[in-house]
């Protein structure tokens, strides 16, 4: 997955309400699934 600010990332875990992504430069980020969908925060690599 790709985030516009954090770059390339690998989804490490997804649950009902959160997604944990490991980004190359930023490390682990836990994101609200609702926010990811609503704001299109992640796009396929």
- Both tokens of 44, joined, read 């396929």
pLDDT at 16: 94
User: What's the whole-model pTM score?
Assistant: 0.87
- Both tokens of 1, joined, read 């997955």
Contacts of 23 (CB under 8 A, 6+ apart): 3, 6, 7, 8, 9, 29
Mean pLDDT by 10 residues, the chain (45 residues): 96 96 95 96 93
pLDDT at 11: 97
């Amino acid at each position: 997955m790709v985030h516009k600010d954090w770059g390339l990332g690998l989804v490490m875990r997804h649950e009902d309400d959160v997604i944990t992504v490991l980004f190359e430069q930023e490390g682990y980020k836990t994101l609200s699934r609702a926010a990811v969908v609503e704001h299109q925060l992640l796009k396929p690599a």
